[in-house]
Amino acid sequence: MTINTAALTERFMRYVQVDTQSDPNGVSFPTTEKQKNLSQILFEELKEMGLTTVELDQYGYVYATVPATSSKKDIPAICYCSHVDTAPDCSGTNVKPILHKKYDGKDIILPDDNTQVLSASINKYLLKQIGNDIITASGETLLGADDKAGVAIIMQTIQTLLDNPGVLHGDIKIVFTPDEEVGKGTAKIDMQKVGARYGYTLDGGEAGSLEDETFSADGAIITIHGVIAHPGYAKNKLVNAMKIAGEILAALPNNEWSPETTDGMQGFVHPVSLNGIAEKTTIGFIVRDFKTAELEKHHARLKDLAEKIVASHAGARMEYATQEQYRNMKDILLQHPQVADHAAKAIERAGLTVIKESIRGGTDGSRLSYMGLPCPNIFTGMQNIHSKLEWVSVQDMEKAVETLVHLSAVWEENS
């Protein structure tokens, strides 16, 4: 079995030029209409490949089936999933991908902004890529390897499976989602159309990495009510909610319990928004931990800290509201150990060492796992995501295609 590297590269370079940035403030679905431009291209290409079960829905989801080549009847259908949108953090308009063939280890200065320098002294993973082909953007935009690397890998996997009918596999289901970067990737997904028992997102980094654990995530909103009075006659009356909010933020510890002071398996709380007037101010937080039960402790600590401050201002009061965002996929995956085990076997067959990682964030897979589709995350090679220095190695993407082809076969062999 050979993988058409040139076709994979061409695909990726073409997909990243389609602007698919999602919008965290968007109220429509998808949050930006332009995401559908890539969905439309994928829909057409899947049909051109000869797949008969292909659908593009009104929300921009693309569903497809690669029919089984094995006559075994009890192979569970598995799904490969990636997202078409790119992050709102960095422009995705007019992306100009640059292929740096046989990377030599020297600094890469991006031509449209020479302050953007990709250096192996900072990006250690580049040292593993000497002699490989690297793709970067040109300096003014992100690249969009997150997650068009995943999209290109899945598309090339389909082509490879169709070209090699001797590789025996069960039904392979494909889904491309919009709005993952704004946390809505599964909001309008139709699990009937997905039609799989187990899934894999292609949205990870370093070659060989397999992520089967994510944060458990909540939101929290503290609403502070002050006491309003005419400022000219406010002595001993006015209580300013914005100033209380400032005190609460200042009381958060600066050496622990925050994203900027934690790593590994540590959780945190993190203020993400502040809105208000003197009368009423709200502070939005995200609360994160790998252990779901710990979220309650974080909430209790934050609420207690805020209540003590509010109580010191006579007449002020507050409310504390929580909202579940997503849950650690590990709790589900432990009940289906074969899902990650098969992926590990496929990664090894592709000649790589498995790197088990915990994602300090969520993926579509976190939500999919709780929607009945146990769904760990497989590497794509993407690096420096959501930034102008984003890059990906062609050879890493190629290894991911190889991994998915093996993974399709491993499920057949074990059924």
Looking at the chain, how many residues does it have? 415
Sheet containing 54-56: which strands, arranged edge to edge? 54-56, 62-66, 172-177, 78-83, 198-204, 377-379, 209-214, 355-359
| Nearest to Zn ion of 19, 146 (CB atom) | 146
- Of 84 and 302, nearer to Zn ion (C-beta) is 84
C-beta separation of 259 from 268 below 8 A: yes
Report yes or no: 19 and 93 within 8 Å, Cβ to Cβ.
Answer: yes
Residue of 180, 213, 364, 396 marked active site: 180
Nearer to Zn ion, 203 or 289 (CB): 203
Beta carbons within 10 angstroms of residue 21's beta carbon: 23
Amino acid at residue number 91: S
* Residue among 105, 117, 74, 86 nearest 15 (CA): 86
**Is the Cβ of residue 38 or residue 409 nearer to Zn ion in the bound state?**
38
Whether 280 contacts 291, CB under 8 Å: no
Bridge partner list, 174? 64, 80
Minimal distance, residue 146 CB to Zn ion, in Å: 4
| DSSP assignments along 264-278, one per residue | TT--EEEEEEEEE-S
List all residues 6 or more positions away from 106 whose beta carbon is below 8 Å from its beta carbon: 120
Which residue in 85, 146, 171, 213 is the catalytic one?
85
Q: What is the b/e burial string over 291-329, where b = at least 16 CB atoms within 10 angstroms of the residue's CB?
A: ebeebeebbeebbebbeebbeebeebebebebeebbbbb
Active site includes 180?
Answer: yes
Closest approach, Cβ 386 to Zn ion, in A, equals 9
Q: Are strands 216-225 and 280-289 parallel, antiparallel or unpaired?
A: antiparallel
Kindly state the smallest distance separating residue 155's Cβ from Zn ion, in Å: 16
- Chain residues binding Zn ion by CB under 5 A are 146-147, 203
d(CA 42, CA 48): 10
> C-beta of 383: minimal distance to Zn ion in Å?
12
**Radius of gyration for the chain, computed over Cα atoms and rounded to the nearest angstrom:** 24
CA-closest candidate to residue 365, choices 356, 352, 374: 374
Nearer to Zn ion, 171 or 364 (CB): 364
Give the DSSP H/E element, type plus range, for residue 174: strand 172-177
| Smallest separation (angstroms) from Zn ion to the CB of 115 | 26
Cα(352)–Cα(329) distance, rounded to whole angstroms? 24
Q: Which is nearer to Zn ion, 214 or 281 (CB)?
A: 214
Nearer to Zn ion, 172 or 182 (CB): 182
CB of 392 to Zn ion, least distance (A): 12
Closer of 82 and 116 to Zn ion (Cβ)? 82
State the nearest-atom distance from the C-beta of 96 to Zn ion, in Å: 21
User: Smallest gap, in angstroms, from Cβ of residue 182 to Zn ion?
Assistant: 11
Alpha helices in 213-371 (DSSP H): 241-251, 294-311, 330-333, 337-349, 364-370
Half-sphere exposure at residue 348, Cβ-oriented, CA atoms within 13 angstroms: 9
Active site residues: 85, 180
